[in-house]
Amino acid sequence: MATFGEDFNLQAFKLAFETGEDLDAYNRVQAVERAALRVQNYVGELADNGTKLAGLPTAADRVEGSDTERAFAALREAGVIDGNLCRRLVRAQGARRRIEHSYVQVKAGDVHSAAQLIREAARGFIARYPRWIAPYLTDG
């Protein structure tokens, strides 16, 4: 993200996203996109696996969406994350899904916004998750 300016400049990102000639710029866009999706995948896997390890209820009967979105809801209900962070994580998961499955129709601004959302939501998640999961990781 820093390759597009200290503040992750949308215009610089959009120019690189839409280029048909500058392969280096296009590769920088791809690096941002792939890194953001990978981070969101890791966060989702941590949520999924953590809820299973802790034996949290899945919230399947109360929450629509993917297993990962239900895991975020279960973590919210258990007090691991708050409602605001849960909403951001669910939005980030939706953004990941749209980019991954509809890439041809996705616009530069959507990828830019998703990368920022994923970065911030992941930071909030990682700030809370290790303290919560640590007791479940003991040898027993």
Q: Which residues are CB-neighbours of 2 under 8 A, at least 6 positions away?
A: 8
The pLDDT of residue 15: 96
**Domain residue spans in the chain?**
2-137
**Angle at CA 117, nearest 5°, toward 41 and 95?**
55
Q: Which CATH number fits domain 2-137: 1.10.10, 1.10.490, 2.30.30, 1.20.120?
A: 1.20.120
Q: How far apart are CA 4 and CA 119, in angstroms?
A: 15
Per-residue pLDDT tens, the chain, 140 aa: give them: 999 999 999 999 999 999 999 999 999 999 999 999 999 999 999 999 999 999 998 766 666 788 899 999 999 999 999 999 999 999 999 999 999 887 678 999 999 999 999 999 999 999 999 999 999 998 65
Q: pTM (2 decimals)?
A: 0.90
Q: Dig out the tokens for 61 from the structure.
A: 């009967």
Q: Residue 29 and residue 12: Cα distance in Å, rounded?
A: 10
C-beta neighbour count of 113 within 10 angstroms: 14
Q: CB neighbours of 73 closer than 8 A, spacing ≥ 6?
A: 59, 62, 63, 86, 90
Query: CA nearest 89: which of 32, 51, 137, 54?
Result: 51
